[in-house]
Amino acid sequence: MASSDNPEVLERGVKDKEDEKDEQKGGFLDKVKDFIQDIGEKIEETIGFGKPTADVTEIHLPHINLEKADIVVDILVTNPNPIPIPLIDINYSIESDGRKLVSGLIPDAGTIHAHGSETVKIPLCLIYDDIKATYDDIKPGSIIPYKIKVDLIVDVPVFGRITIPLEKTGEIPIPYKPDVDIDKIHFEKFSFEETVANLHVKLENKNDFDMKLNDLDYELWLCGVSIGGAELTQSAKIEKNGISYIDIPITFRPKDCGSALWDMIRGKGTGYTMKGNIHVETPFGVMKLPIIKEGGTTTLKKKKEDGGDDDDDEE
């Protein structure tokens, strides 16, 4: 019976030794890991490696018209490390109410200098036709919310590749061209050779935002004859979804109008076409919007004080 017990004693002894070796091995590995981590932390503290930080500081709309909006996102990136770090990729997207409007990737976006901060500019572009083709409920003249998402991917020693996610929200307009009409023409000085007059122009703002009219460039045709254009002598505020009237001085030669001159003299309707652009300030920046009116009809009148039958107080 004693001889049959020996294998059991031997078997238990081998197992105990194996467990002891595993414990020693595990303890050794843990010590190695702790040592490496401790050395890494000391190297990091000594050399000064750290994770970079970033923040969206500003969003510009340098150019916006009826076709597109150019957007520039300024991101301030701070590198606390003693060596430059590469900005590997920039992923970006713009969405509105959870719907993606545009997205893209900027590879090899540059290098951030050691112990420094730099502003990285990310140019984006919204093409309105693409947006309206995809989301037909987004109407011209409206203002839509947006969320810009940016992922900066950098490569930092000790840490490796790091992704820095950023977000910024705001609003952006979908501009709509204003309606223009020449309500009437007051002439100050009338002769066949030269007539000095004022165009009484009606501008209707069909946008959900106010506009301040600063300037306009245009060409005007009366009775099919181009009489050129003139400079705006006054600014005007056009409230959102509102109407404003402005006076524009012009000088032209009625004799160039041919047979239509007699209709003008009799006070009958005078055909006109007006094409050009208005330059306005908006809450979203400066815009240049087209004005087009073809096949319009207006009247040429004297003021009451000059013997005419027109009254400026009609409006």
pLDDT confidence of residue 78: 92
How do residues 220-261 score in pLDDT, each as one tens digit? Answer: 888 778 887 777 767 889 999 999 998 888 887 777 776 666
Residue 262 or residue 57, greater confidence: 57
- The single residue listed with the structure tokens 């979908």 is 174
The CATH number of the domain covering residues in 53-173: 2.60.40.1820
- Backbone torsions φ then ψ of 150, nearest 5 degrees: -135, 130
Q: Is the dihedral of CA 131, 170, 286, 273 positive or negative?
A: positive
Does the pLDDT value for residue 263 go beyond 90?
Answer: no
The tens digit of pLDDT for each residue in 84-139 reads 899 899 999 999 998 999 999 999 888 888 888 989 999 999 999 988 888 888 88
The β-bridge partners of 55 are: 76
Q: Determine the 3-state secondary structure of 288 from DSSP.
A: strand
Neighbours of 300 (CB within 10 A): 24
Residue ranges per domain, the chain? 53-173, 179-314
Architecture of domain 179-314: Sandwich (2.60)
Give the chain's mean pLDDT.
Answer: 81
Q: What is the pTM of this model?
A: 0.70
| CA separation for the pair 229, 276 (Å, rounded) | 9
Kindly report, residue by residue over 211-228, the tens digit of the pLDDT.
Answer: 999 988 888 888 778 887
Distance of CA 268 to the CA centre of its chain: 47
Same fold for the pair 53-173 and 179-314 = yes
- By DSSP bridging, strand 179-189 and strand 300-301 are parallel
Confidence (pLDDT) at 119: 92
Phi, psi of 165 (to 5 degrees): -85, 140
Please list the residues that pair with 99 across neighbouring strands: 96
